[in-house]
Amino acid sequence: MSGAAPLVLRHPDTTSVAAMAGGRLLAAVQDAVVERGIAHVALTGGSMGSALVSALAQHPQRQIVDWSRVHVWWGDERYLPAGDGDRNDTQNDRAGLSSLGLLPEHVHRVAGPDTSASAEESAAAYEQALREHGAGLWDIVLLGVGPDGHVASLFPGHPAQLTADVLAVAVHDAPKPPPVRVTITIECLSNSREVWFVVAGQDKAEAVAAGVGGAAAAQSSAAQVRGLERTLWLVDEAAASRLA
């Protein structure tokens, strides 16, 4: 498997995972802006994604970053109307993303049914935006991991998981609600300088072990994604309990 081998960083609990990941992200974004003048970050949803954004928004040194040079995207989004509480961007906004000082045009949201005719149309528009802004090469991709080993909305065994040669794809009949989503592909997620998996909880222990251990695609989507330069697993002790 290409990409950087996984490095596991253990933390005592969920709170420390989020706090340390938030501080680490602040430093990584600052480095990218200084080195390249711009940063592209793919955010994740779920409780850990929101906890990480909250930790970042509350960091005492957050203003060290020139946020006008930062573009944020989402690895996946639920195909729901703008502002719906189940959308990843809505949850991240409420966690503090909107307080960072990002330029509105640098916050790249997936269109929902209120502004697009279909999930396929939204996926095509998202891919076009990715190509226009050069985010085909990420600085940091953040991913949560489900107990079943899925990342973004790429579920093991689902046809969307194996989609190649595109950056974004529509997902129908997802095995957990809502059933319709838009997701960035494994190929696109892996085209990142760094990939960070941010995971906590005993219910994720099997998925963490499979992801770190390089399980087959049928068992783990997480195992198929690695950063070009670095692959980090930021986990709490409970999530790491099945690791050797």
pLDDT tens figures, 40-83 = 999 999 999 999 999 999 999 999 999 999 999 999 999 999 99
User: What pLDDT was estimated at residue 223?
Assistant: 98
User: What pLDDT was estimated at residue 133?
Assistant: 87
Map tokens 């793919």 to a residue: 42
Four-residue CA torsion sign, 215, 218, 219, 222? positive
Map tokens 């219910």 to a residue: 203
Instruction: For residue range 91-139, list pLDDT tens digits in order.
Output: 999 999 999 999 999 999 999 999 999 999 999 999 999 999 875 689 9
Q: Which CATH class is domain 6-236?
A: alpha beta
List all residues 6 or more positions away from 93 whose beta carbon is below 8 Å from its beta carbon.
none
The secondary structure of residue 85, as a DSSP letter, is T
179 cis-preceded (ω within 30 degrees of 0): no
Tell me how long the chain is.
244
Distance CA 132, CA 146 (A): 31
Claim: this prediction has a pTM higher than 0.85: yes
Rounded to an integer, what is the distance from CA 169 to the centroid of its chain?
A: 15
